[in-house]
């Protein structure tokens, strides 16, 4: 409930196990959390594989069963959320830096608006697909936006500047050679 809990989840929760034990004992081992139903396929890489339902609860919603529970406000300088392969590609690039005191921040040398990335999920949806096709960090510090449609493999020391839109409609992978600068 984002109206009640206005802070975004950094996927870190600390629970007093004695309190949890007491709550479970008082409620017949049931926390009473809302069930979440996610429709998926057995093989996430094959949309034609058998459909299944993943049943889960959100641990973050458990905060409502603990009296006196509170959230910690973690400054954005302490983390960069990585929920998609686009986020992963950005964090692995020179668009971000890790400071001496372990803050992940946008590189101060970046003078452009926030980076916009759009990857073709047929080829770049999963981490292993990114690692296979983009095995080295890209230089995105001068890139405004990057859109990749189709199968590409990037070599070492690739720099992207401006607005880059790559489209490969063939079934053959296109290789971007080492030390290439792409300008758009």
Give residue-wise pLDDT tens across range 4-60. 554 445 567 788 899 999 999 999 999 888 889 999 999 888 889 999 999 988 877
All structural domains of the chain with their residue ranges: 1-74, 76-183
Per annotation, catalytic residue among 4, 39, 83, 111: 83
Q: What is the pLDDT of residues 106-154, one digit of tens each?
A: 999 999 998 999 999 999 999 999 999 999 999 999 999 999 999 999 9
pTM beyond 0.75, yes or no: no
- Residue 86 has a CB neighbour count (10 Å cut-off) of 19
Note if 83 is an active site residue: yes
DSSP conformation letters of the chain: -TTT--SPP-S-----HHHHHHHHHHTTT---PPPEEEEEESSTT-TTSPEEEEEE--GGGGGGGSTT-------GGG-----SHHHHHHHHSTTEEE-TT--EEE-TT--SSPPEEEE-HHHHSSHHHHHHH--S--EEEEEEEEEEES-EEE-SS-EEEEEEEEE--SSSPEEE-TT-EEE-
Homologous superfamily assigned to 76-183: Hexapeptide repeat proteins (2.160.10.10)
């Amino acid at each position: 409930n984002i109206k009640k809990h206005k802070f975004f989840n950094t996927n870190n929760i600390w629970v007093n196990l004695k309190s949890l034990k007491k709550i479970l004992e008082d409620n017949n081992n049931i926390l009473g959390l809302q069930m979440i139903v996610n429709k998926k396929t057995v093989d996430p890489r094959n949309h034609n594989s058998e459909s299944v339902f993943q049943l889960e609860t959100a641990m973050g919603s458990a905060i409502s069963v603990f009296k006196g529970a509170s959230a910690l406000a973690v400054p954005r300088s302490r983390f960069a959320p990585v929920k998609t392969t686009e986020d992963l590609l950005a964090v692995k690039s020179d668009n971000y830096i890790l400071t001496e005191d372990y803050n992940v921040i946008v590189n101060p040398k970046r003078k452009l608006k926030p980076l916009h990335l759009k990857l073709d999920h047929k080829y770049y949806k999963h981490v292993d697909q990114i690692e296979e096709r983009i095995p080295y960090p890209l230089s995105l510090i001068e890139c405004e936006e990057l859109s990749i449609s189709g199968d590409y493999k990037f070599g070492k020391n690739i720099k992207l500047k401006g607005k880059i839109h790559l489209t490969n409609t063939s079934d053959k992978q296109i290789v971007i050679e080492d030390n290439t600068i792409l300008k758009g």
